[in-house]
Amino acid sequence: MPLNNETIKQRLTEKFGDQFTDWTEPYGMLTFTGPKELNLKVLQFLFDDTELRFRFLTDLQAVHYPDRKGEELAVVYHLHNLSDNIRIRFKVFTDITQPDVYSATALYQAANFMERETYDFFGINFTGHPNLIRILNVDEMDYFPMRKEFPLEDQTRTDKDDEMFGR
């Protein structure tokens, strides 16, 4: 029987019970949210399970949701089962004041640079990462530029004419 989203959901529910929420399938990709404390256990299960075999980490990134108090930062994992050519999206949320998430580098080598980039731009501390330092921005930078804490443009600028931009 070919692997499908319903089978994946069923296997995850059998293993972890009702730990997951927000089950959706945008564009056919199974997407779900789990507690950040279980991220490594979930990833390990998806990797090791003989039926699921999600052994390729396609992407890892973060999203800043400033209006979600207590879970402002999301870490999003995109996993791919190359044998059955099926992809899933797994999300965990963390508080912006203590943005600690377990590192997936022991399981996926590709997570190394992806986690460093996510730390560099969003400030998520990947606990257990072998070398969590900035990768693209300068070391002296004391903020995380992809967080929505800053306006997109300087409101005090006087060198531009708003009429040129349709405002």
pLDDT, tens digit, 9 for 90 and up, residues 87-136: 999 999 999 999 999 999 999 999 999 999 999 999 999 999 999 999 99
Give the CA distances from residue 14 to residues 30, 45, 62, in Å, rounded to whole numbers and listed in that order. Answer: 17, 12, 28
**More confident position, 160 or 63:** 63
| pLDDT for res 162 | 67
Whole-number Å distance between alpha carbons of 110 and 115: 9
107: left (phi over 0), alpha (psi -120 to 50) or beta: alpha
Q: How confident is the model at residue 9 (pLDDT cuts 50, 70, 90)?
A: very high
| pLDDT for res 86 | 97
Domain ranges of the chain: 5-140
CB 57, CB 44: distance < 8 Å: no
The answer, yes or no, to whether residue 156 has pLDDT greater than 90, is no
CB 63, CB 6: distance < 8 Å: no
Mention the CATH class of domain 5-140: alpha beta
